[in-house]
Amino acid sequence: MTDWNQMSDAEFRKEVRRFFETEYPAELRNLSHRPKFAEIEHWHKKLHAKGWVAPAWPAEYGGMGLNAAKLLIFYEEQQRWGIVRGRDMGVQMVGPLIIKYGTQAQKDYWLPRILSCETIWCQGYSEPGAGSDLANLRTRAALEGDEFVINGQKIWTTMAHDSTHIFMLVRTDPNAPKKQQGISFLLARMDQPGITVRTIKTLAGEEEFCEVFLDNARTPRENLVGEMNKGWTMAKALLSFERIFIGSPNLAQNALIQLEGFARGRGAFEDPVFRDRFAQAALDVEDHAALYTRFADQLKRGETLGSDVSMLKIWVTETFQRITELMVEAAGPDGGTLGPLQVGNVGMDVLSSFYKARPTTIYGGANEIQRNILAKAVLELPD
């Protein structure tokens, strides 16, 4: 078994880049939509055969066991090559929680099935009235014998219609004195009579998000991960890594490259006002990349990230939005056209990029919430 951490960072980056550039299907690069598993199953099988499905998992559980420095390189190379996020919520979210909090029986049963995608997961967190303020969730689970009976509703559940299982936060003690208390972490099958899924069509015409209705849905008691009523602690367990990966500069960097090529083909750089706005966006991207490097270096040194990491998510998503707005401007009267616009031999779906940028300031904790975190935890401003 290869110990990737013994390689130099440069050697590791070269190895990862070679594999991605050689093996990743060209038709899947920089997809504008979240694919169903059937679209990317052949790529997942390649990763699984190579042992690269779970780069952050310990090697003893079938992962690559990468340290923080190598893990950042792995994800940076994925983003650089336009590798689409697969059905990775099992690997990125529920798997690490099972490794940290699960019983040995849960590890033995669930982890191999997550790696192989025998189980495909969706995240049941957000609810109507409990999005960024997740502790307000109202979905309840009552223990009846050896089963939990679950009632409530989840919303914005990504790819629920293409999932076999759901991991969710539920309220198991409605009388807890604080709203963060009395919450538990459950696993459940999606193919049962008590669960109804309705897709939500986006502005771009895609059906990526879903509503999930739970009407006396059931799951065995052994599908409780961690302690009863301690789910809130688990929900925050991976927060630092989630924030830094959401705040990666690649989102804005790739958009800027696309904008420059498209704008030159459309002659937009002949306008001095456009040139000035492009230069400002380019400087924002460079400044953000420098800030990202600072936080990445903290992880490489084994340090815990502080609340100031929220700056990354705010900066990259709002810069990304401004860049896509410039794309629409550069398209002129074609800016409202859905579908690829030709520039030479290259097609650019300007409107799709614009739509894709809209929710980025909301998911992963709305930017308003991130600003509140900075105000209270970093600047120590009064409520």
Cβ–Cβ < 8 Å for 173, 229: yes
Secondary structure letter of residue 190 according to DSSP = S
Catalytic annotation, pick one of 15, 147, 207, 242: 242
User: 241: part of which helix (H) or strand (E)?
Assistant: helix 239-246
For residue 363, the SS3 value is: coil
Nearest in space to 111 (alpha carbons), one of 162, 58, 159: 58
Token pair in block for residue 288 = 């953000």
242 carries an active-site annotation: yes
Contacts of 32 (CB under 8 A, 6+ apart): 204, 349, 352, 353, 356
Token pair in block for residue 258 = 């696309």
Cβ–Cβ < 8 Å for 231, 179: no
Q: What is the DSSP string of 61-127?
A: GTS----HHHHHHHHHHHHHTTPPP-S-HIIIIIHHHHHHH--HHHHHHHHHHHHHTSS-EEEE--B
Cβ–Cβ < 8 Å for 383, 376: yes
Q: Which residues are catalytic?
A: 242
